[in-house]
């Protein structure tokens, strides 16, 4: 549960990219998590797991400057989080767009460049060239001119990755980007994110309810449950002992082939009594 000894597999990082110290978050009168301490190194891949309502997405919103901490301190890239930080790329879950929405894949990617800026639009050939390069990099050139309402979930997510990568971010925040994708697309999308991380030493914080597609890439896991948390390597956290302690009820962690399945006897969150949190060939 303690922070694993940093064995930097990438460049030597003198300073953590993100540093949370005794951080607590309250929304309304509910404490989502408290006394959370965590350092994230450049190039590190952190998976954030936990039941619905545990504050996973709210953690990302803190980093985006959209939620503020109740207590504790946070430093991101040497300063407090703020809105519109172009050093952060954000990849949400796939969503259904209206079929007739007059926006092409290329336009969606282009938003990543200057879509948030007020002011007159000028046609910028170089900007569009950069957009097309990134689209090519993620392998989405074939359908980038199609309306986004007519793309498949996997195609849409490739374009979203391209959008997030345009600004060459130091940190990628992924909020359930694999949700409602088929298995093949899940694999392709997570590999794309991971290959970018390795090439540019970008840190990744990946919120998910299913760690299976990304387990081979994950350095550490942050598990949030009902105000409590644990952080460590997947093998340390995804165990019967650790999760039982976190949930406060007996929880069984089963390894079935290369998947890990968590069986929760008392499910306090109303979903099915079982969910996947891990899997892999350890």
Q: Is 158 helix (H, G, I), strand (E, B) or coil?
A: helix
Nearer to another protein among residue 97 and residue 200 (C-beta): 97
Nearer to another protein among residue 149 and residue 227 (C-beta): 149
Least distance from C-beta 89 to another protein, angstroms? 9
Least distance from C-beta 234 to another protein, angstroms? 27
Query: Which backbone phi and psi does 105 adopt, to 5 degrees?
Result: -55, -45
Which secondary-structure segment (H or E) carries 105?
helix 105-114
Nearer to another protein among residue 173 and residue 215 (C-beta): 173
Nearer to another protein among residue 100 and residue 281 (C-beta): 100
Least distance from C-beta 262 to another protein, angstroms? 28
DSSP bridge pairs for 28: none
Nearer to another protein among residue 135 and residue 238 (C-beta): 135
Distances 54 to 25, 42, 48, 225, 228 between C-alpha atoms, Å: 11, 25, 10, 6, 9
Least distance from C-beta 142 to another protein, angstroms? 12
Nearest CA to 89 out of 41, 161, 139, 39 is that of 161
Give the helix ranges, DSSP H, for 122-239.
125-137, 153-165, 183-200, 234-237
Binding site for another protein (CB under 8 A): 64-66, 83-85, 88, 90, 92, 97-98, 100-104, 107-108, 111-112, 114-121, 145-148, 160, 163, 173
Residues 75, 19: contact at Cβ < 8 Å? yes
Least distance from C-beta 208 to another protein, angstroms? 17
């Amino acid at each position: 549960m303690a922070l694993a000894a940093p064995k930097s597999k990438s460049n030597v990082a003198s300073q953590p990219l993100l540093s949370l110290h005794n951080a607590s978050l309250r929304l309304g009168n509910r404490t989502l998590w408290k006394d959370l301490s965590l350092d994230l190194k450049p190039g590190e891949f952190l998976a954030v797991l936990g039941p619905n309502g545990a504050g996973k997405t709210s953690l990302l919103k803190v980093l985006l400057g959209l939620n503020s901490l109740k207590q504790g301190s946070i430093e991101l890239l040497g300063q407090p989080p703020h809105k519109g930080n172009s050093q952060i790329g954000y990849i949400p879950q796939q969503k259904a767009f209206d079929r007739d929405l007059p926006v092409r894949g290329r336009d969606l990617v282009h938003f990543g460049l200057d879509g948030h800026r007020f002011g007159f639009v000028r046609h910028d050939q170089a900007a569009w060239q950069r957009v097309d390069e990134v689209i090519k990099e993620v392998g989405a050139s074939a359908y980038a001119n199609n309306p986004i309402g007519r793309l498949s979930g996997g195609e849409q997510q490739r374009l979203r990755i391209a959008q997030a990568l345009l600004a060459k971010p130091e940190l990628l925040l992924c909020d359930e980007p694999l949700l409602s994708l088929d298995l093949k697309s899940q694999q392709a999308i997570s590999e794309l994110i991971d290959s970018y991380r390795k090439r540019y030493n970008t840190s990744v914080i990946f919120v998910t309810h299913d760690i299976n597609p990304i387990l081979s890439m994950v350095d550490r896991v942050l598990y949030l449950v009902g105000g409590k948390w644990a952080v460590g390597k997947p093998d340390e956290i995804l165990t019967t002992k650790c999760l039982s302690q976190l949930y406060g009820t007996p929880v069984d962690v089963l390894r079935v082939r290369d998947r890990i399945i968590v069986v929760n006897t008392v499910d306090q969150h109303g979903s099915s009594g079982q969910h996947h949190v891990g899997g892999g060939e350890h």
